[in-house]
Amino acid sequence: NWAGSQPPLLRFLHECYTDFLPETGGAVADYIPELGKADPAHFGISLATLDGHVYEVGDTRVPFTIQSMSKPFVFALALDTLGAERVESVIGVEPSGDPFNSIRLNAENHPFNPMVNAGAIACSGLIHAAKGDGAFEYVRHALGRFAGRELGVDEAVYASESATGDRNRAIGYLLRTNGVITDNVPAVLDVYFRQCAILVTARDIAVMAATLANHGVNPLTGEQVVTPYAIARTLSVMTSSGMYDYAGEWIYRVGIPAKSGVGGGILAALPARLGLGSYSPKLDKHGNSVRGIKVCESLSAHYDLHMLNRA
Ligand code: GLN
């Protein structure tokens, strides 16, 4: 029996795959028209351990856009590139309790945190202030170092969001009038839309998550991608705000720092343990992948991984 000869972890991931494949709840995001073309049947689960093993089940090599899962990496990059003081002076770290695309800023007229669109656009603005026209390539290369391979861009998704992303543009102008962004707003939004259209697979996301879980050292390449300071702060905001207005439920039930994206990905990084990447395009009302949430809940329960329940 083939299943019986698999390592227990791989067998468990197979069980998750078969248990949750029939789940058809949720809807593919289509407010970015090109995302509406995703195949809702796709389902991939990958788990990377810190000793460099990568387990994969299902559609783990299907490329999809990273979307909001770019936010933690660009935040970490901003901390290291501009210095924590500069970044922390314009972006808060409180959960907003609002949906990801909320236009509301905090009492200082700053973004609540770097995991919602306003905070992520502010991060892209900081990188643009530091790197100018080279900002996007700087981001793309850095995300590639987290993944351990060069990452490309889905030009169609980029063009689709750029053509329709007026809400994010409105956030950009609001940030500029409040001094959070100092550069040309269209140039900053261009970095943000492109970074959201970076192509990854569930396997890439598992490796990127494992790099977060491993103090910033990619377990496949051995490269220190960002500083341990940036990693600890990034995991902190993922813990409090990574799942938007589901973040409280998430940390209560699952207890693993995580980030979702409207492309259908979920990234979960358990410090000193593992990185998980899942891909399934149907989303719940918060914009989180329905099957991905189930995989994370199941993984956490099965292996007793809640981070506040450690021996
Ligand atoms: N690019 C998307 C947006 O700004 C990302 C949102 C998400 O993945 N939650 O709307």
Pocket of ligand 1 (CB under 6 A): 67-68, 100-101, 117, 161, 168, 196, 261-262, 287
Average pLDDT of the chain is: 96
Query: Do the annotations mark residue 192 as ligand-binding?
Result: yes
pLDDT in tens, 191-211: 999 999 999 999 999 999 999
pLDDT over 90, % of the chain: 95
Fold of 67-196: Beta-lactamase (3.40.710)
* Residue range 132-158: mean pLDDT, rounded: 98
Least confident of 15-24, 223-232, 243-252: 243-252
| ipTM for the predicted complex | 0.97
Spatial separation of the C-alpha atoms in residues 292 and 112, rounded to whole Å? 25
pLDDT over 70, % of the chain: 98
How much distance in Å is there from the Cα of 165 to the middle of ligand 1?
10
Among protein residues, the one with the nearest Cα to ligand 1's atom 6 is: 68
Q: How many CA atoms lie within 13 A of 57 on its CB side?
A: 22
Residue 122: C-alpha distances to residues 166, 188, 257 (Å): 16, 8, 22
pLDDT of 2 higher than 70: no
pLDDT in tens, 74-99: 999 999 999 999 999 999 999 998 99
User: Could you tell me the pTM of the whole model?
Assistant: 0.97
Spatial separation of the C-alpha atoms in residues 193 and 161, rounded to whole Å? 7
Question: CA torsion sign, 69 to 74 to 75 to 76?
Answer: positive
* Residue range 152-158: mean pLDDT, rounded: 98
Using the atom order of ligand 1, give the atom closest to the CA of residue 197. 1
Looking at the chain, the domain(s) classified CATH 3.40.710.10 span 3-64+198-302, 67-196
Q: Please provide the CATH number assigned to the domain covering 3-64+198-302.
A: 3.40.710.10
290: helix, coil or strand?
A: helix
* Residue range 247-263: mean pLDDT, rounded: 96
Contacts of 193 (CB under 8 A, 6+ apart): 158, 161, 162, 165, 168
pLDDT of 1 higher than 80: no
